[in-house]
Amino acid sequence: MRHARRRVVRRVTRLTAVAGLLLGGAMVTQAAMASETPGASAVPRSSAQSAAATGAGLVSRLGTSRTAGNWIGADGRPVVAVTDDKAAAEVRRAGAEAKVVRHSMDELKSATATLRAAPRVAGTAWAVDYRTNRVIVEADSTVSADDWSRMTKVADGIGSFVRMERTKSTFTTRLNGAQPILSTGGRCSAGFNVTNGQSDFILTAGHCGPTGSIWFADNQGTQQLGRTVSSSFPSNDFSLVQYASGRAGDGADVVAIGGGKGVRITGVSDPVVGQRVFRSGSTSGLHDGQVTALNATVNYPEGTVTGLVQTTVCAEPGDSGGPLFSEGIALGVTSGGSGDCTTGGTTFFQPVTKALSALGVKLIVSAQQAGGQSAAPSPAPSSATHSAIAPGTASPGSSAPVKGGTEGSTLLSRLSDPRTIGPGLLVIAGSLIALVATRWIRAEQDRKAYRRYYSATWG
């Protein structure tokens, strides 16, 4: 009876081990398939990106001589500025709202080109305001009366659609971010984690430090994060910090928003005027606002930066390089601006898509949402898959905990990560051990039985 029970136990153990091998193989296969980047046709888009795509498509079809930009209306619908009634009718047939304006995009761009050709004045900035069909030129408190007068003459020479405005604050780079990184040159923010396939990097602002800057995670300079390997400032405002370990570690797809909380990043895209956006920084935390202009130019004291995203999101020193995002989509990194989070102000951001293209890297995104990494500027995966939503109801994205540390992870945590093939390999290894152990136990029992038999026979 005892031998029969042993045989049953051994048989059940072997069957369980075989089942474990099959299960582990299936888990490895599923994880490997999930790691592949989905095609564009399989990637859902947020309502903001859908509206932007509709508006951009109409602008492309009608041409810049008959249109003057597109944006998201208060109801979430795409709005296209057009210069004639025939173009307006075509826009309405496509399901978008049309706004007839006087000046085309060609005229507006010609105005900004004239401003760029004029003598540079630090403390000024300009951008095309699609919704008012104007070019807005701002001058901060550091601009002298003579420089203001000269800029005004340039604007008057262009036309009445160029509007001059004064701001009491100053346009500065927000040197000093979501997770702070520090060097001898100052303090900045870790914007987004990116990769080139061999190594991982931090994408942050270019004015934070030149190539060769060493970055640390603590004030004492004992936890080295990495070194700046590429930097572009002025003209652009982005840089790449290579992790000292070569890997971003756990939580690479999450941006911190304060209180131990974070937002999962599932894709990357260009913002659209009227879109509600969110910025996170180590000084002022999480704040939101709206995109007011694209392709903005800012004349910082250190130099001129072009192609920036202009927003109403506030920022303060310490927020530089911090991430700009909406509905889990990466949009930009904090460049600079004016004002603060008490009185409000204007903040400019370096578009992420342009930085990724120039640096030859891809954004590290949530494997749970996007199935891998993506660098495609549009369309982009998003946590919002509904078809229509007003900009005011947009959210930062799906929540996620912020894990301690900024890089590295243990072997056990990596193996147990359900987004990798580790769990499947662990199941396979356990099943093989069970099969070998069962075989060894049976052989040992047979050997002991053999010895007992001959001991009794020849005793």
Cα separation, 316 vs 312, whole angstroms: 13
Cα–Cα nearest to 331, from 37, 48, 138, 78: 48
Cα separation, 65 vs 353, whole angstroms: 26
List, as one string, the DSSP characters of 399-428.
EEEPPSSSS---HHHHHH-TTSSHHHHHHH
SS3 129: strand
Question: Is the four-CA dihedral 284, 220, 403, 180 of positive or negative sign?
Answer: positive
Give Cα separations from 80 to 7, 77, 178 (angstroms): 78, 10, 34
Cα separation, 401 vs 416, whole angstroms: 17
Which residues have C-beta within 8 Å of that of residue 127, sequence separation ≥ 6?
Answer: 135, 136, 292, 293, 294, 295, 296, 297, 310
Q: Which residues are designated catalytic?
A: 207, 237, 320
Contact 399, 262 (CB under 8 A): yes
φ/ψ of 363, rounded to 5, equals -70, 135
List, as one string, the DSSP characters of 318-374.
T-TT-EEEETTEEEEEEEEEEEETTTEEEEEEEEHHHHHHHHT-EE---HHHHSS-B
